[in-house]
């Protein structure tokens, strides 16, 4: 429902396509790593993305900071970066960093995961792959999409973003 409202609202704006690109990545499931071209690569080919995406993500992050939940976006972005990692040594290092920073109980930026998801992620780390955080990332994306994002659309942060676009 909120996704439809956002897209309808943005279609009124002169730069609606830019805003959909900026915020759309939070509304869609992550692309599989096996797909030939990542979202980031496709966005880099578009002329408007570098500054526009940054301002959209920055604004959403500021909103999440105001709600003391910026760790959700940081975790989601860390998982996106992790999935693009190609070497197994890098995967293992990044996996441990993400686990310590976001997944462990009382981690500095602990995300809100149920115990089943946390246990699955822990088991996945025994043999790190590009998909070991996928379930947790989906849970956090769903949390942002259903909880934070609807409030963001009603916030002054979003209204200011729209004014400047």
Listed by start position, the domains of the chain span: 69-147
Q: 37 phi and psi, to 5 degrees?
A: -130, 120
Which of the listed ranges 4-8, 11-15, 150-154, 161-165 does the model predict with the highest average pLDDT? Answer: 150-154
Whether 165 shows a pLDDT value over 90: the answer reads: no
The tokens 């609807």 sit on which residue? Answer: 150
pLDDT of the residue at 36: 36
- Interatomic CA distance for residues 6 and 36, integer angstroms: 29
Which H, E and C letters describe 12-40, residue by residue? HCCCHHHHHHHHHCCCCCCCCCCCCCCHH
The tokens 């869609």 sit on which residue? Answer: 28
Q: Which CATH architecture does the domain made up of 69-147 adopt?
A: Orthogonal Bundle (1.10)
Give the chain's mean pLDDT: 77
Q: Return the axis-axis angle of helices 88-98 and 70-83, rounded to nearest 10°.
A: 170
Q: What is the mean pLDDT of residues 69-75?
A: 96
pLDDT of the residue at 55: 82
Q: How confident is the model at residue 54 (pLDDT cuts 50, 70, 90)?
A: confident
């Amino acid at each position: 429902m909120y996704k439809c409202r956002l897209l309808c609202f943005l279609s009124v704006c002169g730069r609606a396509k830019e805003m959909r690109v900026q915020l759309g990545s939070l509304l869609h499931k992550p692309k599989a790593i096996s797909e030939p071209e990542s979202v980031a690569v496709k966005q880099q080919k578009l002329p408007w993305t570098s500054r526009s995406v940054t301002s959209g993500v920055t604004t959403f992050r500021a909103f999440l900071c105001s709600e003391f939940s910026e760790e959700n976006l940081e975790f989601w972005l860390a998982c996106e970066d992790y999935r693009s990692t190609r070497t197994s040594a890098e995967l293992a290092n990044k996996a441990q960093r993400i686990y310590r920073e976001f997944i462990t109980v009382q981690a500095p930026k602990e995300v809100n995961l149920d115990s089943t998801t946390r246990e699955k992620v822990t088991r996945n780390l025994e043999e790190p792959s590009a998909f070991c955080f996928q379930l947790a990332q989906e849970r956090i994306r769903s949390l942002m999409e259903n909880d934070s994002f609807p409030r963001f659309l009603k916030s002054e942060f979003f209204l200011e973003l729209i004014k400047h676009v």
